[in-house]
Amino acid sequence: MISIRKQLLRRLLIGQLLAILVMGSITFIYVRSELEDLFDDRLRQLAYSVPVNASVVPAPPPRQNNIFEDEDDFVIQIWDEDYNQLLHLNREEGKPDRAEEGFSTHTSGDTQWRSFALKRDSILVQVSQPFADRLEMSLGISLAATAPILILIVMLGGLVWIAVGKSLAPLSVITENLDQQNPSSLAPLPLDNLPAEIVPLARALNNLLERLGHAMETQRKFTADAAHELRTPLAAVHLQAQLLERCQSAEERVELMTQLRGGIVRSGHLVQQLLTLARVEPDKWERPFTKVDLKALLIRVVADLTPVALHRQIDLGINHSEQLYVSGDAESLRVMFSNLIDNAIRYSKLGSQVDISLSNEEAMNQVVILDQGPGIPVGERQQVFNRFYRCSQAKGTGTGLGLAIVNEVVKRHLGTIELTDGENNSGLKVVVSLPPY
């Protein structure tokens, strides 16, 4: 599990350490450059401080107050004019070889030296210093400059740990509120006293809880309605089966068998419609939208329903069509138009006709289905889209779910559906408008 606190602390510390390394390197380079100049000046000063007296052996240079703790860090050698005799050496250990006049860097034995040789009258003064001493002092000054920052990093790490913990406290409050949520009552999370960065997260969770609550309420209502609607046909089938068991005559048995078969067909149709409605509900939508050819889709639906139309002697056909496309789910659109055209066929008069047209009107693709049935009263044209509602003029074995399925598909595709009177106030005209692709 990823910890925001640990990640933030780790990244801050790594960034600070990298900054320390860069700053320390720059400090070391700068300090060493400055110390090189200071040490070279010190070598020159010591060389010039040697008193020149050809008649006596020169005395060692006097000790002076300066930034260096001990002049014995420097090796002072005084030679005669011909470099044959060493007149003075301030210490025996680590004596370097003779160097060229002026500043020079040379190696004697295993030690690298920085020397300054000065020829004065009849003597040669050589002052030398090991490079290791210079490096040691440069490192010491650099570490002394960066050590307080290292301590500061440790202190900042602790402060960051505490500050991040307190800043993330509202997330713990949100977590506790979510843990206390009851699935049957999804209350929104409180937005009071939340940091500005967390408010969008809380709002998104509230929107999710609202949608989830709506979906659960819809599911509960759907389940209750389905159970209520299934109870009646199943009870009828059960009763008919009992009557069939007690039936004595062949005629009654045939009649009851016909009724039983009809009840089974109605129950199967109702179950199929319920499953279709469950699949096309927005909360159950899973298939992605694709480019759908409306003309080809309507031709396929008409071909599927032609046997039903021929059985009722209905003239079913597409009068006018254009090559139009929509963005949607082809299967759901097929179910929608199948329901609408099937209703038009079933409720039209025997020997009449059902006309279908497809056109683009007012920047919308419109499918018009015109039948010659009894139509729907104006006061019921909105109610018929409710689940299990059947029009007062409806006949047959409908379930009251067909137009509910149509309404769900239309809403999902951001379209509209309108029910009006047919031609000469006869029949029903259904206009489905869908946004073009």
Q: Residue 278 pLDDT > 80, yes or no? A: no
Q: What is the pLDDT of residue 196?
A: 78
Q: What is the pLDDT of residue 400?
A: 65
Q: Residue 104 pLDDT > 80, yes or no? A: yes
Between 103 and 163, the more confident residue is 103
Q: What is the pLDDT of residue 279?
A: 62
Mean pLDDT of 335-340: 87
- Would the pTM of this model clear 0.75, i.e. be above it? no
Give yes or no for a contact between 129 and 113, defined as CB atoms under 8 angstroms apart: yes
Q: What is the pLDDT of residue 80?
A: 79
Could you list the beta-strand ranges (E) of 245-352. Answer: 290-293, 315-320, 325-328
pLDDT in tens, 187-229: 787 887 777 777 888 888 888 888 887 777 767 766 665 665 5
Please report the domains of the chain, with CATH numbers, ordered by start residue: 4-49+68-158 (no CATH), 199-280 (1.10.287), 288-434 (3.30.565.10)
Mean pLDDT of 32-39: 83
pLDDT-based confidence at residue 88 (cuts at 50, 70, 90): confident
Give yes or no for a contact between 417 and 410, defined as CB atoms under 8 angstroms apart: yes
Quote the Cα angle for 26-31-32, to 5°.
100
pLDDT in tens, 325-335: 999 888 889 88
pLDDT in tens, 112-149: 888 998 887 778 888 888 888 888 887 888 778 777 87
Block residue for tokens 């050809």: 54
pLDDT in tens, 2-26: 777 777 778 877 887 888 788 778 8
Q: Which of 146, 263, 283, 157 is nearest to 211 (CA)?
A: 283
pLDDT in tens, 220-272: 766 665 665 566 567 767 777 887 778 778 887 787 787 777 777 766 766 77
Between 279 and 374, the more confident residue is 374
Block residue for tokens 């066929």: 345
pLDDT-based confidence at residue 433 (cuts at 50, 70, 90): very high
pLDDT in tens, 376-395: 888 888 888 887 676 655 55
**Rounded Cα distance, 179 and 189, in Å:** 11
Q: How far is CA 306 from CA 28, 197, 299, 396, in A?
A: 92, 60, 10, 20
Q: Residue 355 pLDDT > 90, yes or no? A: yes
Mean pLDDT of 51-66: 49
Token digits of residue 81: 């004019």
Burial class (CB in 10 A: 0-12, 13-18, 19+), 192: exposed
